[in-house]
Amino acid sequence: MAQPIISAANYTEFNSAVFLLTGIPGQEDVHIWISILFSLMYAISIVGNSVILFIIKTDPSLHEPMYMFLSMLAVTDLSLSISTIPTILGIYLFNSREISLNACFGQLFFLHFLAKIESSVLLLMAFDRFVAICNPLRYASILTPPRIAKMGLVFVVRGLAVALPFPCLLKRFQYCQANVLSHSYCLHQDVMKLACSDITVNYIYGLFTTLFTFGLDSLLIFLSYMMILKTVLSITSHTECLRALNTCVSHLCAVLLFYTPNVSLAVIHRFGNSSSHLLKILLGYVYLLVPPVMNPIVYSVKSKHLRERIIRAFVK
């Protein structure tokens, strides 16, 4: 791709420029109602995940591997909400669309980093269900707290290593094209399209990280459930079979809530055309807002042990 000739003065101007975030085009007259909906979802996300963390921390009976992984998921969802939703609300409440380059790069780093962490946590939760169902006698000896901490640390390091190059790769560009982003927050695949340089390296690296994290994690989750299903189907008791499968429902819901919009959004960004712009925006909101809201609800409803502890904490 040929790089256009731009004066030194223009380079300085573009380096200090801002990006413009996008709401839902053509819906400006209902921005206040959209902001109310998003504010409600933000509040549910903050309160729901905070309650999950509080109950797990204060109740010793919940200091088990499954709930440790759930607390990791809650921390990730909280961080994801805090790092992105205020920017979205600023657009719908105050029409505050401008975001500086450095702030945008910082936000996209945290968004991609936390997305990688959430994918890793979902993989760990799949491993937890695999051990609990396929090797229950060794469950406590395999998933010890130190081992869980080490696995979590490994995936945090992986997330940092994968996400840190995103802002570094983007900072080397000059942005001489239209500065309007497709979403109400910053994504690497969205920002790189505004550069007036060759973005081949960014494109290849983005594809590599998607395959190395989401692709690998989802494949391992799928294989875990294949082995779980094989073990469950070998159980002669129909009641025990259903009971074992029921322990996986919450996690399967979390996996679908995370991967479905994530994969769909990645596909649209790479292969979509202008007709899919509104779908891209809506999927972006589903990807960002729905999992942090629904995960604590799903786990509270499906986990009898956790639900009883929550009711006991607030109804005395």
pLDDT along the chain (316 residues), means of 10: 41 61 82 91 94 92 91 95 91 89 93 95 95 91 93 95 94 81 89 86 91 93 94 82 86 93 80 70 88 92 86 77
- What is the pLDDT, as a whole number, of residue 13? 45
Question: The domain that contains 277 carries what CATH number?
Answer: 1.20.1070.10
Asked whether residue 279 is domain-assigned, the answer is: yes
Asked whether residue 4 is domain-assigned, the answer is: no
Phi, psi of 248 (to 5 degrees): -100, -10
- What is the pLDDT, as a whole number, of residue 272? 65
Which helix (H) or strand (E) is 18 found in, with range? strand 18-20
Name the amino acid, one letter, at 299. Answer: Y
Residue 152, classified by CB atoms within 10 Å of its CB into exposed (0-12), middle (13-18) or buried (19+), is middle
User: Which residue's structure tokens are 């256009």?
Assistant: 4
Q: Which domain holds residue 47?
A: 15-166+178-314
Task: In whole angstroms, give the CA distance from residue 85 to residue 92.
Answer: 11
What count of other Cβ atoms lies within 10 Å of the Cβ of residue 288? 26
Asked whether residue 123 is domain-assigned, the answer is: yes
- What is the pLDDT, as a whole number, of residue 163? 95
Asked whether residue 226 is domain-assigned, the answer is: yes
Asked whether residue 3 is domain-assigned, the answer is: no
Task: In whole angstroms, give the CA distance from residue 241 to residue 275.
Answer: 46
Kindly state the tokens that stand for 146. Answer: 């130190």
- What is the pLDDT, as a whole number, of residue 6? 41
Count of structural domains, the chain: 1
- What is the pLDDT, as a whole number, of residue 262? 87
Residue 184, classified by CB atoms within 10 Å of its CB into exposed (0-12), middle (13-18) or buried (19+), is buried
Asked whether residue 9 is domain-assigned, the answer is: no
Ordered DSSP codes for 139-206: HHHHS-HHHHHHHHHHHHHHHHHHHTHHHHHHHTS---S--B-SSSS--HHHHGGG-SS--HHHHHHH
Q: How many residues does the chain have?
A: 316
- What is the pLDDT, as a whole number, of residue 4? 45
> Helices (DSSP H) in the chain: which residue ranges?
8-15, 31-58, 65-94, 101-134, 139-142, 145-163, 165-171, 188-191, 200-210, 216-233, 238-246, 249-271, 277-302, 304-314
Whole-angstrom CA distances from 23 to 30, 73, 123, 293 are 11, 28, 33, 20
Asked whether residue 93 is domain-assigned, the answer is: yes
Task: In whole angstroms, give the CA distance from residue 214 to residue 114.
Answer: 12
Asked whether residue 2 is domain-assigned, the answer is: no
User: Which residue's structure tokens are 């395959």?
Assistant: 211
